[in-house]
Structure 1
């Protein structure tokens, strides 16, 4: 939670204007930061920039002085008011012998037995009961519970005498009312003094945090000087002031205990804290609701027009349907129609192959059009495979339903899925404990202020982080890292779209760099035998990714020319938190896991599969409490289910014989071509599919076919074609819908509510980068893969 929200939530509502105005001070800091960047871009005179920095610091100190003066004035007034009230109450207690003696003689027992002693079992009329026993009003102020058996016994023994006193006459009734009023005043005064104590702590924390933010954002050294010389030397924040305040609270506890609890301070303290807790709970609940209301109001008042939901009238009815739902219904209808037609047409001469082809086309249409969520379609595939009787035994006979179900489910959970979960665990730990952010901020802080170098640094940071925390989470992290740059840019600066697009495209490129960096890589590895491991994957993917990154960087500089309107950018500050033992432990586990994955081929006889290695981070992180069940729930389970559905479909296509049939027919047309030409054909086919549909869906549908074709070539090269095709899936980045990074980038908006990027931005830079990357895959990539024996 942001500290401004914490301050508002914990503030006393009636005093809210007397607290430090944290938000206004933060706005001054960001304004000074923007002015500093403007000075770098407008003037090269260091003395002038230094003078402006001094003027800015003077403005900020002046604002701090105003806030400090406000706090001192309010505290002095409230302290005097509450202390005078306490003095008057103590004088009233000591000067009123009747109340004091009455409270002492009937202190603990009478006040704690009100519910049991003064409520008749047969009493129905509450109002009449209250008139007969006015002392019950005290219980409504501070209900108590008996502490021991001896006290309960003493209350029963004194019952008759206390009841007889209450029935003596009107004077005793008046005395009870005075006693109730006195008790109420003591409790309210205790609450007010406790809130005054909280007021001091909150404002001291506010000064500490705002000074820390000033030093971090503007690279100053103001916190130590101002905090020690001005804040901590002021009356509200002196240690003596807090000691006096605690002494006043002790006076109230003593007075309350002597008057109402027979001198028992522990019971008195418990009662008053109970009322304080109820008061704070009520105020926080009220303030929190108001905060939510204000946040919703603020978020709804954007400068852009609210999005109008387009609807269509259903013929012959009075109902209307949303355009998005209509599009889904049309896509679903097309998929069902294609399924029915293909089930009736004999395309391959075998019923199992025909049915499997119909299911394959149905799934491809459903995934491509997203008639249903991708993972929902994946859940439907196993249900359709078994009743359609697609799977066959090795001898060619149709597999029984029970055996087919077992085969399908065994294909849906494999070592590849376990590797995917292990990657999620690594990503969650690196993100949760700030390791990825700390690494990125330290690298970017050394990139300087020139836009071209900042762009290159943020692109390589996002590409590198995509290797380990996936290219789904990396863009979100990197977008937050460049926020200090975005908020200081002039209006309509070309730097903002350049940086955001650079992060998106480099995250797509980073999606090909490691086996766990993207879902399509997990699917690709499923069809490679033997598993390439991290070492061989790095050897092939990293050179392609690095060259593509430099090409993309050059295109972005050529298209946007970011230095033309903003020659200098704000510097990203590195995180200054100390390295913890937990962070060191996480890094060691990550390094060990990746090292074992790289060495998987040499230890295969002992571990059997990469999925076994993936259990290490899962067991260690969840077993030691580094990750918990909330982190497990935050895994990208939709991606897991999507991959499982694709594997079930791949198993069906293979078992039915359809894949082999398609591969043999394709082989007849391309067998005379060299392997590099076959790889180029499949790479460009996948590039088109991945650009317009999805990287993952492209891998699910086309990679199995590529594998089968590679196995039936005169000189088989299945791993070469499969790995090349898998890398080509990540090369599709020419549209906003081409992968998770692009979808995240296109949703970002500037402070006025206008999107930073449009489809045109992706087309101009993304399509050339996609084509160059694909060419590198079937040229440079082919050479590397052929060299390692693929």
Structure 2
């Protein structure tokens, strides 16, 4: 029977020393640190003198109240500084997210109270509740059982096995972080490869089936997360940005009507590319594959009471997020409240059969990615000043010439820019930096903000070419079964497919479901 996984906090450990950065990392961080400061100063002083006049004229006298030239210049400087530090990781990403709390109050652009408000946005608590549910699933090994049952149901022929792993990984990634999903699924995949390693053509572990399986798991972790608001940080940032800056609310179920079809089609296309085009498996059948999966399930034992309880809460949460805000309009029930109810239930309800043990305890909850929550806050604080100080308007005024281009071309261009940029930068940092910019561009060309910011969020998660692009890629590369050239070759195709599918999703699903005005 499954027992809860215990956690030993390392937050205050004195026995472990931090791994020193390499020379290249030190150089990049120093360049980013000093270069970011220099670029910020340049941005402050080189902003056109008539920028504030353009903003006031575009906003009108009423909306322009509180906008100042100093505020406009300083917001531009803060955006450049934070963007440079985020993209070079000059200091930890979460530390960069604290810059608004110092910069805007100290330099008299806004009060500390106003600047700090976005750090407590309701969307941050939605993501916190999602993280707690994911931690409870991991604590009771429910995520592992779901994955194994999915793979067993799909079948163990090589191509179907890759599909099974991708479906299981993608589904879990809708609710559990990409990294945690990949960390859990890749060892299961590796155990399959150990069985088939001697049977594959060439006798080594660098073979098509191994490469396809490892890349399939890594890519599915990113693709599946597109399906829900809590699946990946850029989605959550988008929802918060729209609510705070444009008074646009997108519900959990509403997003799934766009995100899930996109994820399903993208995953099937990725599977086809990996197993039929790029890395055709050498074997037609895997001897003993089904038995290996069954052995893994036997090792988990019978369903524990904790697994069942967390599973019921998980299903209840998914149904509530999808249906309640629509079924109970005006009741005050929203996604954030549902997330907090779920979190409290996990802390309150005991695990049947485990005396004195709750479904979730604080030792487990301490593993929440607090840095990601801070990063959200910093991105939202910066976005808020973009609107308050008129920087979004100024960017939009300068981008009006784009209105002459076809809408589809503009959306695709945004996808290309963000997808290839996020190969080298954090997906969350990229989304945090580009959401307010593209929101401003949309306003400037007279377009619906959703038209440009939705592709930013979706594209920021789609990084498939390089190990450094996202943790699942790095984990797959670190397995030893994936060569750099193979990842780049597959990643180029998936990046291009991502641009096309995101553009189609925005135009064909976003317009009717999210109400995007063309």
Q: What TM-score, normalized to structure 2?
A: 0.82
Task: Indicate yes or no: 2:196 matched with 1:482.
Answer: no
Q: CA RMSD in A?
A: 2.3
User: Residue 692 of structure 1 aligns with which residue?
Assistant: 424
User: Residue 427 of structure 1 aligns with which residue?
Assistant: 134
The CA distance in 1 between the partners of 2:21 and 2:259, in whole Å, is 43
Task: Indicate yes or no: 2:114 matched with 1:407.
Answer: yes
User: Residue 46 of structure 2 aligns with which residue?
Assistant: 345
The CA distance in 1 between the partners of 2:435 and 2:41, in whole Å, is 25
Residue 588 of structure 1: which of 309, 312, 330 is its match?
A: 312
Residue 505 of structure 1: which of 186, 197, 219 is its match?
A: 219
4+ runs deviating over 4 angstroms: 307-310, 564-569
User: Residue 499 of structure 2 aligns with which residue?
Assistant: 774
Alignment of 1:305-704 (within 5 A): 322-347=23-48, 348-349=51-52, 350-391=69-110, 404-488=111-195, 489-490=197-198, 491-494=204-207, 495-528=209-242, 529-557=247-275, 558-563=277-282, 568=287, 570-571=289-290, 572-574=292-294, 575-576=297-298, 577-599=301-323, 600-607=325-332, 609-624=334-349, 625-666=358-399, 668-704=400-436
C-alpha distance after superposition, 1:672-692 (max 9, x if no partner): 334333222222221122222
User: Residue 761 of structure 1 aligns with which residue?
Assistant: 486
The CA distance in 2 between the partners of 1:472 and 1:603, in whole Å, is 35
User: Over alpha carbons, which structure has the higher Rg?
Assistant: 1
Q: What SS is found at the alignment partner of 2:186?
A: helix
Shift of 1:711: 4.0
The CA distance in 2 between the partners of 1:589 and 1:444, in whole Å, is 23
Q: What SS is found at the alignment partner of 2:39?
A: helix
Shift of 1:457: 0.8
User: Residue 252 of structure 1 aligns with which residue?
Assistant: none
CA contact (8 A) 1:338 1:362 kept: yes
CA contact (8 A) 1:724 1:782 kept: no
User: Residue 221 of structure 1 aligns with which residue?
Assistant: none
Alignment of 1:702-713 (within 5 A): 702-713=434-445
CA contact (8 A) 1:733 1:742 kept: yes
CA contact (8 A) 2:225 2:232 kept: yes
Task: Indicate yes or no: 2:438 matched with 1:731.
Answer: no
Shift of 1:475: 0.5
Q: 1:691 to 1:445 in 2, by over 3 A?
A: same
The CA distance in 1 between the partners of 2:476 and 2:466, in whole Å, is 11
CA contact (8 A) 2:395 2:444 kept: no
The CA distance in 2 between the partners of 1:332 and 1:309, in whole Å, is 15
Q: Any stretches of 5+ residues in structure 2 without a counterpart?
A: 1-18, 53-68, 199-203, 350-357
C-alpha distance after superposition, 1:116-138 (max 9, x if no partner): xxxxxxxxxxxxxxxxxxxxxxx
Q: 1:435 to 1:309 in 2, by over 3 A?
A: closer
C-alpha distance after superposition, 1:567-611 (max 9, x if no partner): 657333231422233322222222222222223244352225421
The CA distance in 1 between the partners of 2:321 and 2:154, in whole Å, is 32
Q: Any stretches of 5+ residues in structure 1 without a counterpart?
A: 1-306, 311-321, 392-403, 749-754
Q: What SS is found at the alignment partner of 1:531?
A: coil
Q: 1:329 to 1:309 in 2, by over 3 A?
A: closer
Instruction: Tell me which of the two structures has the higher relative contact order, counting C-alpha pairs closer than 8 angstroms and 6 or more residues apart.
Output: 2
